[in-house]
Amino acid sequence: MKENPKGHLFSISENEYFDDKQSKIELVSCDLGGHKCSEHRAVINRKMLASRKFLLNKDYLRSIESIKEAYYITADLQENSCANCAKLFRCMLTQSLENIHDDLKQMSRGWFMTKRYQSSYKLATLVLEEFRKDC
């Protein structure tokens, strides 16, 4: 469970495999009752689930695209009360992308490298740079 500065509590699932019925981000407490971000959270959760499924199938390009789409959805949270939550979502998505980037880096370098993942690694690098500019 993570808490952001305004006292909004979120439960962030750290399971190894996603359950289709379990959301990655679940609201535990919010001054506004989570009404402002409920649709956004639902879409972000769906995108993260899709990203994880693509990742498990080694479809890195689509996994990265799903994370990128979820990241851009956080920009729609314009309310002042939602700014900290949006930042938390972006940090979580950035961390997911960093994990994918690190995995791709290991697979695209060294003795056992394959050029198969080079395009995914380059895309992950570009998107990660873009995310870091936002932070």
Q: What pLDDT digit, counting tens, does each position of 84-123 carry?
A: 788 888 988 999 999 999 999 988 776 666 678 889 999 9
pTM, to two decimals: 0.77
Q: Is 78 helix (H, G, I), strand (E, B) or coil?
A: coil
Of 45-54, 60-69, 100-109, 113-122, the one with minimum mean pLDDT is 113-122
Q: What is the mean pLDDT of the chain?
A: 80
CA-nearest of 43, 99, 52, 32 to 74 is 43
Whether 3 has a pLDDT exceeding 90, the answer reads no
Residue 78 binned pLDDT confidence (cut-offs 50, 70, 90): confident
Instruction: Identify which has the larger pLDDT, 42 or 69.
Output: 69
Kindly list the distances between the CA atom of residue 95 and the CA atoms of 30, 36, 67, 81, in Å, as whole numbers in the listed order: 23, 24, 10, 23
